[in-house]
Amino acid sequence: MADTRADPAAQSELMVEDEPFFSYLDLFLFSLIAGLLVYWIIFRKKAEPIPEFKKLEPQTTRETSFIGKMKKTGKNIVVFYGSQTGTGEEFANRLAKDAHRYGMKGMAADPEEYDMSELSRLTEIENSIAIFCLATYGEGDPTDNAQDFYDWLQEGDADFSGVKYTVFALGNKTYEHYNAMGKYVDKRLAELGAQRIFDLGMGDDDGNLEEDFVSWREQFWPAVCEHFGVEATGEESSIRQYELKVHSDLNMNKIYTGELGRLMSFENQKPPFDSKNPFLAAVTVNRKLNKAGDRHLMHLELDITGSKIRYESGDHVAVYPINDSVIVNQIGDLLGVDLDMVISLNNLDEESNKKHPFPCPSTYRTALTHYLDITNPPRTNVLYELAQYATEPKDQENMRKMASSSPEGKALYQSWVLDSCRNILAILEDLPSLRPPIDHLCELLPRLQARYYSIASSSKVHPNSIHICAVVVEYETKTGRVNKGVATNWLKNKMPTDNGHKTTVPMYIRKSQFRLPFKSTNPVIMVGPGTGIAPFMGFVQERGWLKEQGKDVGDTVLYYGCRYKNEDFLYQEDLEEFEKTGVLTALNVAFSRDQAEKVYVQHLLKKNKEAVWRLVHSDNAHIYICGDARNMARDVQNAFYEIAEELGGMSRAQAGDLKDATRLNYGRYNLST
């Protein structure tokens, strides 16, 4: 072939000959692309209107008007609950059942399921009351199911004139924002014109929450009677809320076997994952952290690959445990029942949104294993309802006495049930005349709740893994029985396998306000003895990751405490490596029992008071505390106050105000059992 590159005439001739060919090709391609584009646009526009999203809204299948439901069923008392662990819901149900004894009719209601703007219409119902049983979660936060109601109250300006209400708050006095949610709703409703008909009740879980509730309730109902001019009916008989249905020929695919919401959801997992749809995370690591001693402290890693679950340092992981099969079988043996009988407990109130006390149909074995709390001491209402089945008059008398508000009854309940840590099995064993029908027992027992653990990892470093640090709970009671924590003992036995069958844990993420500062240059001071170290493992990992990304990171200081250096110094190698590489600016460890005089983290804070004060006062350090809220957190807070008083010349009141300016944060302690 001739080379035409050096011949202008040849080049010109080639261009002339080739021009028509490329022009037709360009035209063809342009026409083809344009045609496809037009077709796609037309097709897309035709397809867009097809989904009728409004028709698919789930609200169409559920009644969202509580006013309409109250009118339809003749109810005049509605008890709303904000509940994270089930206690608020349990108290609401008890108050709703109480109403009949005073010639009234009540219903318990989840504010998440109803249109709360209807509250102003409660005046349309004669002699009506709205009762609120509201728990406070974390650092003064509302529970998940009361979050929307809380936001609406804050933003709205409704007129509640004529609406009558009262509030019982559930909290823990060792936390700074004690009963914040209940206090806020009580105050806000009054500001919006509602009429408080009885004083705010304050329940303290650090003391005796049950006694607080019973005492408040015993005074509340007489006040209601006086307000409306009605009298108690005197009817104290037990009222069943559910009726038993036994299934004999049900397809096994229609029977719940531990699922929390959707049937077969554990076999066919679908995101998003939450409290009603937990993800089955495989356990990839389960190792003992302590080198010696009689306790068992453990580190677990859960694989969340493919789940689309996201978490941040400081969040909590919730796990759903199951009860010990030994206890389940013993209850079945004592009551003489076939635990594998398939049953449903159906609500007698057909209008109720809550059709069953737990997922049904199910077997008694599944209910006692997955759904019901059989290890915590039962509350007084359970004893009262079960008393009718005791054949010994003395047993009946004592059970009813413990459910009363009399000083003798309270003292008996405190000593015989609470102080002796008697669960329902122990009560059945110690009261041979008490043999209730198992269906009524299952109706009365509270739901088995998820256990929350501070996540001990950073998603920046471990995006597909969640780490847990926990201590196994096991102790001997005054009756000589050995009680074991449900979740920690269950987790202890969740060992990874390499035989192709995954060991899994049902879990979901609960978001937290316990967060690293937005600016990485802010110093952080972390105080976390024992398993309180958990969230700080995630914090330190994240600060290290930020350094690797070239970010400027402020001082990262940790105060950790344990009993003995050679026994329970958790994550020792990891922490010492973090210090060696400069991720941890300072690692301060208090070994409380390695010397004659006990040394705790607060002592080390005072020892390093100049450095602490410089970080807090001059460098705007953020302070984080995670651990025993009853003692340690208070002692640590006082140590910071004393440093501010001594080196900052502040009064105690001024030191207290410094708390907000320095971002003093409290984490959830891993008290899950």
Nearest to 78 by CA among 160, 136, 165: 165
Q: Which residues pair with 283 in a beta bridge?
A: 302
Provide the annotated binding site for FMN: 83-88, 135-138, 170-179, 205
Do you find a cis peptide bond into 20, omega within 30 degrees of 0? Answer: no
Rounded-to-integer distance, Cα 260 and Cα 655, Å: 47
Torsion from C-alpha of 184, 190, 195, 196, nearest 10 degrees: 30
Residue 645: Cβ-neighbour burial (10 angstroms; 0-12, 13-18, 19+): middle
Cβ contact 604:587 at 8 Å: no
HEC profile for 565-600? HHHHCCCHHHHHHHHHCCCCCEEEEEECCCCCCCCC
Instruction: Give the Å distances, CA to CA, from 184 to 187, 189, 196, 365, 454.
Output: 5, 8, 13, 42, 27
Tell me which DSSP letter residue 341 carries.
-
Provide the annotated binding site for FAD: 451-454, 469-471, 475, 485-488
Rounded-to-integer distance, Cα 273 and Cα 279, Å: 6
Provide the annotated binding site: 83-88, 135-138, 170-179, 205, 295, 451-454, 469-471, 475, 485-488, 531, 592-593, 598-602, 635
Provide the annotated binding site for NADP(+): 295, 531, 592-593, 598-602, 635
* Beta strands 474-476; 482-484: pairing state: antiparallel
Handedness of CA 428, 431, 432, 437 (dihedral sign): negative
Strands (E), 428-565: 451-454, 465-471, 474-476, 482-484, 504-510, 524-527, 556-562
Instruction: Give the Å distances, CA to CA, from 606 to 559, 562, 587, 588, 636.
Output: 12, 18, 15, 12, 10
Place of tokens 């009680």: 483
